[in-house]
Structure 1
Amino acid sequence: MTTLAGLIHHFAALLDPADGNAALLSTWITSAQAKGLPHLHAFTRGLEKDRAAVDAALSCHATTAAPKASTTKPS
């Protein structure tokens, strides 16, 4: 359980989008696959299936703020 908790903790840190997360994810995947946890293997295979989208999500600095309402009044 300690191994799994550590891997989850390190993966969670990648969820804060930042430059370089794609390389860190590669390291994390290699480490996770070396641990012999079958469910984690399935998770890493899923990440690798759509790696471009995962990399974009982990490095994208998107905002979650609601869009501002238009202040322009119609004529």
Structure 2
Amino acid sequence: MKETLLQLGTEFGAAAVRAIGAVCAAALGVVVELNGLQTLDTGVGIVGVWMTALGCLLLVIGYVLASDAIDLLRAKRQPTN
């Protein structure tokens, strides 16, 4: 019984860590992206482009982490034969 609970706890814990990382990366990506776009409006082109690119990268990382978390939870719900 304890082994099953420990195994489920570690697997759901890994999914929870990925989900929290996805939310943080997406939120940070949106903030950096918006700041980059505002910087482009002020005329500082190079910094704005780099901030915008970093924001896009963070959004992609958030998407990948979220899809990994969803795949981990789906794999646990499907019974293995």
TM-score by length of 1: 0.36
**Larger relative helix fraction:** 2
